[in-house]
């Protein structure tokens, strides 16, 4: 897998030294991703492209700004 299509905010499933964990992508470089593991017991904060085995993209709707006026009492 290449990291070209991975963006900050996406969730990845990584396998580092036979330890699988989910993490949120913070930043990317040419061949590595800087991640924040979802499980606090995981101490890996950098993942190589070859260690990524799954990818879930952040949806546009989740990243959009909330519409004003919705959720307020009139």
| Reported pTM | 0.75
Contacts of 14 (CB under 8 A, 6+ apart): 20, 21, 22, 23, 35, 44, 47, 51, 52, 53
Structure tokens at 22: 């989910």
Q: From CA 55, how far away is CA 14, in angstroms rounded?
A: 9
Backbone angles phi and psi of 43, in degrees to 5 = -110, 0
10 Å Cβ neighbour count for 63? Answer: 9
- For residue range 19-49, what is the model confidence (pLDDT) as tens digits? 999 999 999 998 899 999 999 999 999 999 9
- For residue range 55-70, what is the model confidence (pLDDT) as tens digits? 999 866 655 555 555 5
- pLDDT value of residue 5: 86
């Amino acid at each position: 897998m290449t990291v070209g299509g991975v963006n900050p905010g996406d969730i990845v499933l990584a396998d580092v030294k036979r330890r699988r964990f989910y993490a949120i992508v913070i930043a990317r470089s040419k061949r590595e991703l800087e991640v924040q593991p979802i499980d606090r017991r995981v101490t890996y904060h950098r993942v190589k492209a070859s260690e990524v085995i799954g990818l879930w993209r952040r949806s546009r709707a989740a990243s959009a700004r909330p519409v004003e006026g919705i959720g307020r009492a009139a």
